[in-house]
Amino acid sequence: MKISQFTITTSLLFFTFCTFAQVQETKTANLMGSVFQITLVDSDSISAQENIQKTISEIERIENLISEWRPETQISQVNQNAGIKPVQVDKEVFELTKKAIWFSEISNGAFDISIVAMDKIWKFDGTMAKLPSKKAIRNSIVNVNYKNIVLDSINSTIFLSKKGMKIGFGSIGKGYAADKARKLLQESGIKAGIINAAGDIATWGTQINGNPWRIGVNNPLETGETIEILEFSDNNAVTTSGNYEKYVEINNKRYSHIINPKTGYPSTELISVTIIGPNAEMCNGFSTSIMVLGLKKGIKLINKFPDYQYIILTNKEDIIKK
């Protein structure tokens, strides 16, 4: 999920409300291996910069808990002890893992944080000229199965019961960080802003001039065009998963980097799935799950959650909305 999937338009970067000056400040930072954009409405520039820095520190704190790339993090410790012993983790890490397993259960395994252990037989760098063999695909997923993630709520431990397993939060981690950053700022008295976590967006309040935040869902098939303009003026979130940034084409068929954890094959039915709702972490989980499930099963899943809407672009270039 990339920042380029959405276009955020704002107006009037300075505004006087009653007798109090307000400013709308934006800062871009490299966090969690991606580009984050933090925008907030605050009383003055000094306060805004302090609150933006507070937000960056919060996202870095989360990354230092859940990154599977940093060897000192709790999740890296869990991965290093796969098949050996349980690892005690903070309640926050435990609950995030629990939520990921919940997504696996409701999606019948279409969502699975243990997919990071999959052998990298699919190449999306332009070097792949033919499909992997069926045997290679079968072998690639031998260490992928969320049912082998064992949680102990009493001791707050995570145990990967099979050696060679790994877990990672690339699918929901940035949405989770956006939600946590929004909560932190709201608790600090910030009435409005946007956390754009590399395209996973959480908003609250309105622009400095009182207008809603306007977010354009870009059309991946037409550069510069949008499928929909969303207007947010409350706690809202939007995320997109798609096959148009990392993929390979073989025999005129596009294979996405979003891979079915149960089969080892990439998703092919959908071009993109955008989910709109109150919570970015949930939107993340749904968009990833639906990309794997496909249109019929994906809509059946999301319809169970009336607080969440969708914009789905199929490989036939049909746009399905709710």
**Annotated binding-site residue? 171:** yes
Q: How far is CA 63 from the centre of its chain?
A: 14
**Annotated binding-site residue? 314:** no
- Annotated binding residues, written as ranges, equal 171, 288
- Annotated binding residues for Mg(2+), written as ranges, equal 171, 288
